[in-house]
């Protein structure tokens, strides 16, 4: 991993009237890194992501992608894959047709549609209309679209939304694989476990402000100390049983449903 900043914000701010949705955010995401923006509902994650993509204009502050300020030159968008609103697609078009539209818009190779379908394990649904997919499969379609044109940077708002536990593990593996091949991933989540399993670095936002930033390892150390101090032995045992149940569920999942490595 080099230290080159793929994504950088300086004093990024968005106010809606008196609501400070995002308030002076300084972020730097390096090439090949998985960065997780973690925060409660309403903390400002979606607003941040919309500004990163140039979908809404900041009240003040700047965003740079690949070293270029957004707004002046939109060509960088071709190098970015994104998922903003989860589970959006043309409902009357099939999975393959939805992806083919994106392929044409981005100028990606014809084979990229089948590849993306395979990567997100949508093979059995390729000819199904998007409007008839389950929430989880709609989310897979959105993810397939995000990575179809082999972007260098993925910006994903709550990528685990709507996925079942096996799906979350598959997508986690996929994002890890992409990051290992040099793709930079910026993702948001309101679930600590999701970013803690995946992100190299985690930024915690609250009321639009970055209240903490740490590597996954540092955060895990702090969390362990917190769990030790804040919970009783019975509560800790209960949590362990829940984790074991999740592992049991995954072990019982048919081999064809397991992630491709």
| Residues near ligand ATP, by CB under 6 A | 16, 19, 21, 39, 41-47, 190
21 versus 195: smaller Cβ distance to ligand ATP: 21
53 versus 101: smaller Cβ distance to ligand ATP: 53
46 versus 98: smaller Cβ distance to ligand ATP: 46
Shortest distance in whole angstroms from residue 206 CB to ligand ATP: 9
Q: Give me the residue label for tokens 């993925």.
A: 154
- Distance linking the first and last C-alpha atoms of the chain: 22
Shortest distance in whole angstroms from residue 98 CB to ligand ATP: 23
98 versus 188: smaller Cβ distance to ligand ATP: 188
Contacts of 66 (CB under 8 A, 6+ apart): 6, 76, 79, 152, 153
Residue 20, SS3 per DSSP: strand
Shortest distance in whole angstroms from residue 47 CB to ligand ATP: 3
Shortest distance in whole angstroms from residue 40 CB to ligand ATP: 7
Q: Judge contact between 86 and 161, C-beta under 8 A.
A: yes
Shortest distance in whole angstroms from residue 204 CB to ligand ATP: 11
Contacts of 175 (CB under 8 A, 6+ apart): 34, 154, 159, 185, 187, 198
- E strands, 177-256, are 184-189, 201-206, 209-215
41 versus 111: smaller Cβ distance to ligand ATP: 41
């Amino acid at each position: 991993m080099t230290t080159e900043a793929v994504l950088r914000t300086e004093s990024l701010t968005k106010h809606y009237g008196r609501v400070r949705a995002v308030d002076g955010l300084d972020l730097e995401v390096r090439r090949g890194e998985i960065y997780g923006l973690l925060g409660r509902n309403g903390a400002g994650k979606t607003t941040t992501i919309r500004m990163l993509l140039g979908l809404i204009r900041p009240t003040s502050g700047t965003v740079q992608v690949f070293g270029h300020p957004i707004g002046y030159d939109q060509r960088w968008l071709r190098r970015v894959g994104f998922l903003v609103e989860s589970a959006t697609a043309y409902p009357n078009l099939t999975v393959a047709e939805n992806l083919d539209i994106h392929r044409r818009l981005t100028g990606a190779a014809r084979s990229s549609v089948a590849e993306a379908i395979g990567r997100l394990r949508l093979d059995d649904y390729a000819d199904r209309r998007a409007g008839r997919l389950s929430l989880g499969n709609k989310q897979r379609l959105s993810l397939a679209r995000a990575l179809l044109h082999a972007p260098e940077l993925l910006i994903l708002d709550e990528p685990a939304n709507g996925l079942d536990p096996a799906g979350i593990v598959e997508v986690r593996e996929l994002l890890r694989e992409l990051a290992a091949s040099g793709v930079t991933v910026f993702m948001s989540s309101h679930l600590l476990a999701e970013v803690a399993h995946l992100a190299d670095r985690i930024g915690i936002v609250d009321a639009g402000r970055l209240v903490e930033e740490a590597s996954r390892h540092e955060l895990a150390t702090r969390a362990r100390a917190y769990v030790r101090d804040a919970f009783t032995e019975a509560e800790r045992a209960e949590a362990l049983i829940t984790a074991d149940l999740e592992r049991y569920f995954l072990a019982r999942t048919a081999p064809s449903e397991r992630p491709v490595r």
